[in-house]
Chains A and B, each alone.
Chain A
Amino acid sequence: MSVAQGLYLSVAKEFSETPGPRSREEGDWSGEQFLEDVLGPKFDQAAREGTTLMIDLDGTEGYATSFLESAFGGLARRHSSKRVLDVLQFKSNDEPYLIDEIKKYVNDASPR
């Protein structure tokens, strides 16, 4: 019996160790940039393949509220909160509260 392996995304390795502000115009490594260049395409791939996407949040300097809301809240506005939470899984040993925080932004985001 084979077990389907989900996709994996490490923010520190595949994006930046110093995640930045909310939008591209505010500076480098923004939540908007992360959503459009990394998270969005990976999420679409996972959704197409009917698998999960594990987001590894460890190894960075830390996450600002603005970055998290822009990236994960933005993803929920594109799709829906339920769909995002069905596909995404999280790993955060450095700061376990980040997982609840992200889920809060996803649940608070309403599709536009």
Chain B
Amino acid sequence: MRTAAGVLAAVFVVVCVAARQQLFGLRLNLETKPVEVATFLVTVFIAGFLQHYLATQVPDRRAEKNILIDNCRDCVAILKNCRDVFWTCYESGKMTKANRTSILGYVRSLANGLESLQAAIGLSQFASLNGKFQAVKDAYFNYKNSLTGGGFPAKPYRADALAEHESAYRALSNQLQALMFQINKQQ
């Protein structure tokens, strides 16, 4: 960047000297034209303003996107924990008190993670994305139903619970991934 500015300055000085010496058919016109001066000043102001705006706004938006994407990642991590504990229960064919506590605990963590994410989106510069959060919420309710609906916690998971769980898991996971991409795409 500095090299380019140095080269431009050197070219400018060489052209000025050449014009003063009237080399290569160049001439210096020292007449002052107010309109051209005003145009020049406006151009300089716009360039400076744009540089200042981009220098302050772009990093702020990137930082906010990173925070929101981190929140999304946390939710995905909790969702994976939910799936792991489901698999443990499903494979053991039992629903112990510890299993019940574990599942309810992870479901609560997931709900609160999503609630925090929704609140953070509302506080950020991308609050318009909150309109798309209802789909995530619906997918969460559906997923919770696959984990704690039916005979939970009185009976172990039935054979058909596996397909229902995996379908609901994929739906919620996809919603969270889509939300991450939408956050990242925000201008």
Contact = CB atoms under 8 A, between A and B. Distances in A.
A97 B149 contact: no
Size class of the B contact interface (CB-based, 8 Å): 20 to 34
B70 to A, nearest CB: 20
Interface string B145-163: 1011111111100000000
Interface SS majority for chain B: helix
Most-contacted residue by chain B among A61, A63, A64, A101 (CB, 10 A): A64
B150 A66 contact: yes
Contact of B153 (A20, A97, A100): A20
B115 interface: yes
Contacts of B114: 97
B152 A64 contact: yes
Given A62-B105, A62-B107, A65-B144, A97 B152 contact: no
A37 interface: no
The 5 A-B pairs with the shortest beta carbon distances in the complex, nearest first, are: A62-B104, A26-B154, A64-B148, A21-B154, A65-B149
Interface of A: 20-22, 26-27, 61-66, 69, 94-98, 100-101, 104
22 contacts: A20-B153, A21-B152, A21-B153, A26-B154, A61-B101, A62-B104, A62-B108, A63-B104, A64-B153, A65-B147, A66-B151, A66-B152, A94-B108, A95-B108, A95-B111, A95-B112, A96-B112, A97-B111, A97-B115, A97-B140, A101-B144, A104-B141
